[in-house]
Amino acid sequence: MTERIVIDPEVCGGRPIVAGTRMRVSDVLDALASSVTIDELLGDFPYLAREDVLACLAYGARAIDHAVVKAA
């Protein structure tokens, strides 16, 4: 995943993007959340690969994962 998703302070304000593009991870996730299929995304953005979309999903899953802390 780290080779497909990068953070560059000079591109898109340092937001995570698909490597070699200006496509933000959040744009991919927003599209998927809006019922756009992976195949539709790939058709609309031919510079994306299926693995890029899957890497965005994995990145999003890891971004929201956090330890649950319970008060004693």
Tens digits of residue pLDDT in 21-63: 999 999 999 999 999 999 999 999 999 999 999 999 999 999 9
Q: What are the angstrom distances between the C-alpha of 26 and each of 13, 41, 72?
A: 13, 13, 36
Looking at domain 5-64, its CATH architecture is Orthogonal Bundle (1.10)
What pLDDT is stored for residue 70 in this prediction? 85
Selected residue with higher pLDDT from 66 and 32:
32
Q: What are the angstrom distances between the C-alpha of 38 and each of 7, 21, 54, 69, 71?
A: 23, 17, 9, 35, 41
What pTM value is reported for the model? 0.87
Domain layout of the chain by residue ranges = 5-64
Q: What are the angstrom distances between the C-alpha of 46 and each of 30, 50, 55?
A: 18, 10, 16
Does residue 68 register a pLDDT over 90?
no
What pLDDT is stored for residue 1 in this prediction? 56
